[in-house]
Amino acid sequence: MSGRDDEFETSYSVFDDDASDEKSDDSADSSGLRSRDVVVPLRVYKAVTVFSTLFAVVTVVGGFIALDVATERATVPLPKVDFPLAIFGLALIAAGAAVYAFSTRFRAEGMGKSKDGSDEPSNNG
C-alpha cells in the first residue's frame, strides 16, 4: 500500500468512529430519554419551560420588529437599509430560536418523549 492508501484508511476509520458516536448520543435508554436530556425536578422543569418560551417569543418578535424598522417595512432600497439594526434583529431571532431549542432538552423526573413509547402505534391516523 502506498502512503495515500494508508491516509485514506485512517480518515475513513475516523469518519466511521464519528458516525458510531452520533448513534450512541441519539439512542434512548430504557426510560426513553436520550443521553443529552437533562432530568430536573418538576418545579424546575416548569420554570425553565415558562421562562425560556417567554424569552424566545419576546426575542423573536423583537427581532422581527427590529428587522421591519431597519428595512422600513421592506420598502427601502438596499443602500438605505440600516444594516446594524437589521443584523441585530436577525441576531435576536437566532437567539430566541436557540434558547427554545436548548430548553427542549429538559425533562421532568419520570417524563419521556411520547413518540419513544413502544406501547403506542406508529401511525398518526
Secondary structure class of 68 (helix, strand, coil):
helix
pTM for this model (two decimals): 0.62
Strand spans (E) along 22-109: 38-40, 106-108
Residue 72 in contact with residue 97, Cβ under 8 Å?
no
- Cα gap 25→55, rounded to integer Å: 28
Across residues 46-72, what is the average pLDDT?
A: 97
Residue 19 has pLDDT above 60, yes or no: no
Per residue in 21-54, pLDDT tens? 444 444 555 555 566 888 999 999 999 999 999 9
Phi first, then psi, for residue 110 (nearest 5°) are 80, 5
